Amino acid sequence: MAIKKFVVGSFYDEQVLFPAVKAVRKSGYKIHDVYTPFPIHGLDTAMGLRDTSLHTAGFIYGITGTSVAFSFITWAFTTDWPLNVGGKPFFSLPAWIPIMFELTVLFAAVGMVLTFCYLCQLAPFVKKDHFNLRATDDTFVMAIEVTDRTNVAEAQSFLTSLGAQDVVLTEKETGWWIGRYDKRQQLLSTDPQTAL
Amino acid sequence: MASRDQFVIPKRYNTISLALMGVGIVSVLILLFSHGLSNDEHEQARFWASLLQNSVYFLLVVNASMFFICATTLAWGGWQMTFRRVPEAISTVVPVLGIITFLILMVIVFGGNHTIYHWTDEHHVMEDETLLHKKGFLNKTFFTVWSIITIGGWWFLGRKLRQLSRQSDAAPMSIEEGKRYIFKNTVWAGAYAALFGLTALSTTPWLWLMSIDAHWYSTMYSWYTFASSWVAGLALITIFVVYLKNNGYLEYTNREHLHDMGKFMFAFSIFWTYLWYSQFMLIWYANIPEETVYFKPRMQGVYRGIFLLNLVINFLAPLLILMKRGAKRNYGTITIMAVLIIFGHWLDFYQMVFPSISGDHVPFMLVDMGIGIGFVGIIMYVTARSLAKHPLVAKNHPFLKESIIHHT
């Protein structure tokens, strides 16, 4: 995987972060991502992120759950093992609706959690690295990707002028495994033998 | 454009609301001459049933506005502050419709015609063991007194909460004053919630609607009726908000607030279905004759079409159309859905009332809807007058800022 460089600025105030995000986008820098300790309403709009497609996935999972429940119960109760329950017809839709509902919810919930983990690149045994560990505590971290046309020094001073407290240049391996701890040791290593 | 914080009733609006009321009056007259003045008790009952259905439905719908204020106040919600004056204005219709409904109920109870409320026939009650057991609750005195307490309580507490809201207009509040103000609001809203629980959430539907089938009972009935009127009430608030917004008022209200109203309409449509189904499924499963008697004409009889249409309009349509985020944020879609929901729950009330009065055929006439349109006219007229009286935004309310920066 390619190694990419990022200019990382840390902000300590939400009120400073918002105008900074807007200004950075306006000046044409490529924001890789903004990491915050808690969800911030409106930040996605400010960053210009598209709407998530998670809910579309959820709808499809839900519909799948409904159909699975409906078709399985229909098959089981009318074809495979018809039972006479209180003289009701074998095909008794009202009795199946709770099960159909439950399976809709189950499929949608589990499917959406897994999809969410996939989209956020979370998986068991994958240790995520952070641009700044304090992003999990009290710091808002903005990572600007350094492309061919980015002037690093300029970007750094621009971020500082927008109110970023410490601005650093870091390197990360991109792709699904971006920022794994074990790779990071190699990245930071000065030894030419272990450095990638 | 000049700041528009005071609603001015357009001439055309007034004309339309008066015209709708005219349609209502004409409908009542037509139905009065075709059925109400007939010598047949059954025909008379059909006339009064239509008035009962429409008046109770629209009274509960406008009263849902009051519940909206009460619920959001108790939850310390701030997001609704930019348009809170709208449900407040709608709730001023409660006394008007309350009096109309009360008069209709009184005529039905004391009019000597026992077709709608069997339990008003004392000779019949003496011979009927079930009704005899229910006599402590289902009798004319209790019905009258409790109806007066119900409507009077809604009136009084609604007025109190509206007065409190207008108090904030006088001068900006300090933090201490704001805290006291919110506390006072919470206390009165709490009183309203208690009254609402004892009336609209329990006894009111039992007395006014469920007692039409005096032998039958369902513990879900009041919840189900509440869900019906509540979701229609939310739809009504949404329509007024969109109307004011389209006419350049309510500058702080935007798509974010509308989105939340849409979520409410969506969620409570599902809630309604849940309650409807909970009532239906247990009766269907147990299959006990004295319980299934309610669903017999509705599911297998002539009301089958209305019964199923009711589910399509009130469940399938909101579920599929309002599910998308874009639909909830679109003024057009949300208005169409709001109108559809109000109509759908009107239909729901129709099938609550009529199958027990006319089980062998659907006596539906367009004038039934005409009477409903008349009530809509009253709601439009009174709400607009009340909106025009006071500023549209409570600009000193402590939670206003929270509403202005509201973001979903």
pLDDT tens for B74-133 read: 999 999 999 999 999 999 999 999 999 999 999 999 988 898 999 999 888 899 898 999
Asked if residue B1 belongs to a domain, the reply is: no
pLDDT band of B2, cuts 50, 70, 90: very low
Shortest distance between the Cα of B281 and any Cα of chain A, in A, equals 6
pLDDT of residue B177: 92
Mean pLDDT of B52-67: 95
Asked if residue B302 belongs to a domain, the reply is: yes
Q: Does A41 touch chain B (CB under 8 A)?
A: yes
ipTM of the complex model: 0.80
A86:B323 CB<8 A: no
Shortest distance between the Cα of A104 and any Cα of chain B, in A, equals 14
| % of chain B with per-residue pLDDT over 70 | 99
Determine the structural domain holding residue B262 and report its residue range: 11-404
Shortest distance between the Cα of A169 and any Cα of chain B, in A, equals 34
Asked if residue B2 belongs to a domain, the reply is: no
Torsions phi, psi for B6 (to 5 deg): -120, 125
Report field, pTM of the whole predicted structure over 0.90: no
| Residue in B281, B407, B408 closest to A94 by CB | B281
Contacts of B278 in chain A (CB under 8 A): none
Shortest distance between the Cα of A157 and any Cα of chain B, in A, equals 32
Asked if the model's pLDDT at residue B198 lies above 70, the reply is: yes
Asked if residue B370 belongs to a domain, the reply is: yes
pLDDT band of B52, cuts 50, 70, 90: very high
pLDDT band of B405, cuts 50, 70, 90: confident
Q: Mention every residue, 6+ apart, whose C-beta is less than 8 A from residue A183.
A: A129, A173, A177, A196
Whole-angstrom distance, CA of residue A81 vs CA of residue B289: 29
Q: What's the domain count of chain B?
A: 1
| Residue in A42, A86, A97 closest to B287 by CB | A86
Q: Which residue in chain B has the smallest CA separation from A88? A: B285
Per the prediction, chain B carries an average pLDDT of: 92
Q: Which residue in chain B has the smallest CA separation from A56? A: B324
Asked if residue B392 belongs to a domain, the reply is: yes
Shortest distance between the Cα of A94 and any Cα of chain B, in A, equals 6
Q: Does B280 touch chain A (CB under 8 A)?
A: yes
pLDDT of residue B305: 93
Asked if residue B233 belongs to a domain, the reply is: yes
Asked if residue B22 belongs to a domain, the reply is: yes
B281:A41 CB<8 A: no
Contacts of B281 in chain A (CB under 8 A): 94-95, 97-98
Asked if residue B6 belongs to a domain, the reply is: no
